[in-house]
Structure formats: C-alpha cells, structure tokens
Amino acid sequence: MIPRYLTDTDPASLPVHEADVIIIGSGVAGLYTAIRLAETKNVLMITKKALLESNTRYAQGGIAAVISDEDSFDSHLQDTLFAGAGLCSTEAVDVLVHEGPDGVRDLIGLGAQFDKENGELALTREGAHSQRRILHAHGDSTGLEIVRALAEKVLQHPRIELWNDHFVIDLVTVDGECRGAIVQRPDGSRVLARGDATILCAGGAGQLFRYTTNPEIATADGIAIAYRAGADIRDAEFIQFHPTALCYAGAPRFLISEAVRGEGAILRNSNGERFMEQYHPQLELAPRDIVARAIVSEMERTKNTFVYIDITHEDPEMVKSRFPMIYDTCLEYGLDMTTDWIPVAPAAHYMMGGVKTDLNGETSVARLFACGEVSSTGVHGANRLASNSLSEAIVFGRRIVSQIRQLPSISDLPIPPLSEEEAAASSDWSGASKHGKEPLMSPVIERRLKLQKVMLRCVGLKRTAAGLEKGLEDMKRQLSILDAQLISREEFEFANMLTVSLISGEAALAREESRGGHYREDFPERDDQVWRKHIVFNRVHGRSEEAIDLEG
C-alpha cells in the first residue's frame, strides 16, 4: 500500500506559514485562480521551479470557445462528447461550453492578447472540431501569451505571495479535511503552509514516459499527493499521445501543433504516401488517439521510427506568420517547414484523468480543490478534444473561486500531532534513526529512466494484458524506494511518478476494451455494455467503478 506521508516529519512539529488559500502550481489554472481569489483573500502560490515554467506555456494550438455567430454551444458540446468516446460528463461539458466564452473575455480583460483578423478575433479549426472556434496568440504561442499576461498580474498583486523553487511533499489532512501542505524549501528545511483551502494546479504526468511534449517538471506530483491524502483518482488509464512531436536526431520532442493540420498539412509515411484515408474519414483531423495509432501502424508497417507532416503545398508566408515558433524551432535543426517534410512521431502529451472533482472543482477531500490537467472534471472523457484544456482551467477556476469565497475560516483550528495509526501508515515517519531507514543508494535518475521505459513499452499507445502485467511487476520492484529516507526533490518526484504509474497501469489492465486514449490489442473493440463507466482509485478503499450519466 502507498504510505500516507512520504516525509519523516510530523506536520504538527513544523513552523507554520498562514495564508487564506494555498495554490500549488503556476500554470494557467494556478495563475488565474490566484488573481481572482486575491481580490478578497491572501494567497500563497507555491511552484517547484519558476513562475513561468509550466505545461501551459508550451500550449501552442489555442483555447476553444464559442465566439463566432456561425458556431453554437450544441456544436461544441457534441464535438467534445464525440472525442470523449462516451465517458464525458454531459453536465461538465455543458458547463465548459456555456461558460467558456466568458472565460475568454475574462482573459482578455486581464491582458491576454489573442490574434485578430480584420479587427475580429482570429479563429482556426483543429482536429475533431466541426467549426473554427480556436483562439490563438502570436500564431502558435497561445499558452505562453496567457501565462505572460497572468504572471504580470500575479507579480504585481500585493495579496499574492509567491514561493519559487519550493516543493510540496504532501498535503496535511485532519478528519478528512485538507488544512494545507508540507513544503520543502530550497535549503532543505520544511514548513507547514496552512490555509482555509488548498488548490492543486500542479499539472500533468508526461514525464511518466520516455518521450513526451511536457517539460521536466510534469512528474504527476499533484495526483500522487492527492491520492496519499485520500482523494479519488479517476480515469488514470486515459493518456493522450500527441500524434505529431518532432522526431529528429539531436532535437527535443517538440510539439508540432494540431493547428498545423488544421491549416492544411497532411501526413505521409516514410515512403511519401498519404495514409490517413485508410484509417478515418476525417483524415488528418480525426481525433488524436486515432491519428496517433495510425502513425504508429504506419511506422510499424514501413519499419521506420517516424512519419512526415507536410505543409509545403501551403503559402510559405502563411506558414511563417501562423506558426512562427514552430517554424523557427524547426529551422534551428535545419528543417524548413515551407520546403521540407518534418519527421514526427507520437509522444505522451496529456492525462485525461486525474483528481476527481465536482462541478465546483472540489475533490472528495473537503477544502481540497483541483484545477487544470491535474483534475478530472468529467470534461475530457476518454480523449480530450483539442484546445479544451485551457478553457477548462479558466471555467472551473472561476467556479473554484466562487466556492472558496463561501467557505468559513478554520485558521483558529490547531494541527494535532499524527495519530499512531497515521504514523504507521506513513513511509518513514519518526525518522530514519529510529527505524533504520537508509538514504536512497542507487541514483534516482537511473530509476526514473527505467520507469519511463517501462511505461512507454507496457502502458503506451498499444497495450496488452501480458505487457501490462509485466510492466506492473517491474514497477512494484521499485516500491522499495518508499522504505528509504527521501530527501531531494528528485527523490520525491520519483516516488510520485511511481505511484501514478502503478495507478495508471492497474487501471489499464482492468479496462478490458479499447476506448479513446486507451487501446488494448487483446480487446480492440469498444464495449459500452460493460465499460461505459469510470475506474476510480482511492488509497484506503482501493479500486472501484463509477457509472456515468447515460446521456453523455
């Protein structure tokens, strides 16, 4: 069983830092909720690296919302439900599409500058969208522009305190209620950050895999610490692999946005043949899971490690102006999008599941909220629709702010020492000196690479029972790390990665069908009769299954 706490420190013994609200993470979800809460609350924002380093800043495509008169809420809802392959919550999607436009207007009011054409917001189309409803900024730097605008407001706000380079080890709970977090400072000392509410905005889990479009910090921390605190984790088997990440010697797995295909790019195998007509009537604009598996099938058939994305038939000036960051990055490696086919392959990109929340962003642990990729609101189902993630963060961030403003304060309630039962359920509580815990001997970087390779091989785009069982065996051999004395951020990150990898692998093994981002070669068909439901994990109660609304 995964321990309750990773740290060897009793929270009641730590120095205390008080704030009204604790926000963990600095992507669009964390920045936005901080700004809006700071209108009436004192906010502490904690980020394990720098303020501008998050998954959000790498979001190229844009933010989806019904803006055009030619679009409709029903169309956006139906597109989202279709992409989600039967596992979306219709109620959650309805909230997203109806409240999304106001969220976009709120971002504009906070200084985000989206691209315009003829004085109107410029809209583009991406895979599985039936209308042009994607707003973008600086062509292909939408996430970076949103982070820029929001970060400026955060840095200027007198009621927001920012802790860079601080790592949240665990959440602290008392009688099923979140009271704050144990935080490790850059010098290794620890502090208890206390608040009336805590919001997890810690991002995704791309670093569970050897190849990912995510930055180094995306190590599933938020999901793992919520799981240890008793929150429900839902849909962990549904991991989206972006179909088109740059695959070129010496280059990182840099994202080639879905919007490139939205503007007319086509996919070719290594023989130069366009192939998507063999896989789906929507061709290159089919849902991401279908495109990604089609690419892998072509790679296997042609015995190559990549396919090509080709936009050389489009106007060169349009390509350069619409995708300046992608164009410049490819050029750094000797690839010119306007004249060259760009080699690409799928890479882990987004986790559809996460910490289960209600429609107000609250988890199954009272006073603990989750927002952004770390959460499972019910919007994405088995496969996220392109550019819905930024919309989700703003829409549900607004709801979280409204909910927290109504909470009574608990600042006068003390944090009691851990009970004997809690101490026994923790990793090395009471310290290494009393229980003979030793520091971690083998370098954590080796363990991390081994885990990433296991996840890629066994819990990747194509899965089988035999592969999943072998992968889970390999992961469980690494559980001894939880018996060691963990000290560094990298060690805590690995413990979190291992925790979420095990949950994801167990969920993938249990789901004996193929749906959305989960594909079983031994169960290749979707089975609505048996598997139109969610798989939920809880540290205390184990695995359970949850029915969904039958209209979804």
Determine contact, residues 500/223, Cβ cutoff 8 Å.
Answer: yes
- 271 contact partners, CB below 8 Å, separation of at least 6: 302
- 48 contact partners, CB below 8 Å, separation of at least 6: 165, 166, 167, 168, 217, 221, 489
In angstroms, the Cα distances linking 504 to 161, 173, 239, 361, 510 are 34, 25, 9, 22, 10
Angle at 538 between CA 536 and CA 541, to 5 degrees: 110
Largest CA distance in the chain: 71
**Helices vs. strands in the chain: H and E counts, helices first:** 16, 23
Strands 134-135 and 177-184, how do they pair? unpaired
Determine contact, residues 54/146, Cβ cutoff 8 Å.
Answer: no
- 520 contact partners, CB below 8 Å, separation of at least 6: 463, 464, 465, 508, 511, 512, 513, 514
Residues paired with 199 in a beta bridge: 23, 369
Element (H, E) at 283: none
Nearest to 199 by CA among 390, 57, 26: 26
Angle at 92 between CA 86 and CA 98, to 5 degrees: 115
Other CB atoms within 10 A of residue 446 CB? 9
Residue found by looking up tokens 């009271």 in the block: 179
Element (H, E) at 263: none
The reply to whether 261 belongs to the active site is no
Buried b (16+ CB within 10 A) or exposed e, 196-206: bbbbbbbbbbb
Determine contact, residues 455/210, Cβ cutoff 8 Å.
Answer: yes
Report the alpha-carbon distance of residue 452 to residue 207 in Å, rounded.
7
Report the alpha-carbon distance of residue 339 to residue 312 in Å, rounded.
5
Element (H, E) at 193: strand 190-194
Candidate list 4, 36, 288, 447, residue with the active-site label: 288
Catalytic residues: 288
